[in-house]
Amino acid sequence: MTTFRLGQFPVARVGYGAMQLTGPGVFGPPASRDDAIAVLRTAVEIGVNHIDTAEYYGPRVVNELIREALHPYPDGLAIVSKVGARRDDAGAVLPYDEPDELRRGIEDNLRTLRVDRLAAVNLRLMDDSPPDGRFDAQLAAMVTAREEGLIDGIGLSNVSLAHLRRALAVAEIVCVQNSFSLLDRASMPVLQECARRGIAFVPYVPLGWPRDRREAIFNNPATASPAGTRPRRRRSRWHGCSRCPRTSC
């Protein structure tokens, strides 16, 4: 695999987003812990050296799986987490993005993963607020964590071009993680700015989301032909999807 720099780490162009190793809804344990661990180990064995995670995936579930599968971690493995959210007992995703909460989130990731330092941590924005004084305070918390040696790099997630430019005025940003796919190119200005500045752009849901958009990508001849696959046939409208356990129907 070719590589690109994510801060201090040369990472393969294809990384592994570990969110789906949890139970349904990114909540609770996986159906098979052994399978989840095998997936992580296989990813590293075939050359993946950038793993994306978060303490609130599960919560704690994904970080614990990564630790069990890979600790002690191989040299050069960039584990990148994110802060700014938490899960309640029912699985709801809630903001956890005050400066002191961001600090606790970083420390929780370090503890669960059993590391002293992370390659990067993304500041995940949970709403559409513009870059303002609150955003500055959040960035300041991330800068402090970097200066104190808890993280190597600061990343941003779910941000606009205005957020990125404001952040770059006060801190080095090593990666940006935004939604981006063939059918969702709203973040193209952010991607272009990252490319211009040599910042790693890490798209999430790169195969499209929700499912109808993903199916549109998979069934488009322009993508199916280079991938060596055939467009998927639509199922009958009478197919009992409410009873089907598969997510591809």
Known catalytic residues?
A: 57
Q: In what order do the strands lie in the sheet with 200-201?
A: 16-17, 50-52, 78-83, 120-124, 154-157, 173-177, 200-201
Q: Which CB contacts under 8 angstroms, 24+ apart, belong to 215-219?
A: 216/183, 217/181, 217/182, 217/183
How far is residue 220's CA from residue 134's CA, in Å, rounded to a whole number? 42
How far is residue 146's CA from residue 48's CA, in Å, rounded to a whole number? 25
DSSP 21: G
Q: Which residues pair with 4 in a beta bridge?
A: 11
How far is residue 222's CA from residue 139's CA, in Å, rounded to a whole number? 41
Token pair recorded at residue 39: 């997936």
Tell the residue number behind the tokens 């802060």, with chain if given: 83
Supply the angle between the helices 99-113 and 61-70 in degrees, to the nearest 10: 30
Query: Is 51:80 a contact under the CB 8 Å cutoff?
Result: yes
DSSP 179: B
Q: How buried is residue 40: exposed, middle or buried, by Cβ count under 10 Å (0-12/13-18/19+)?
A: buried
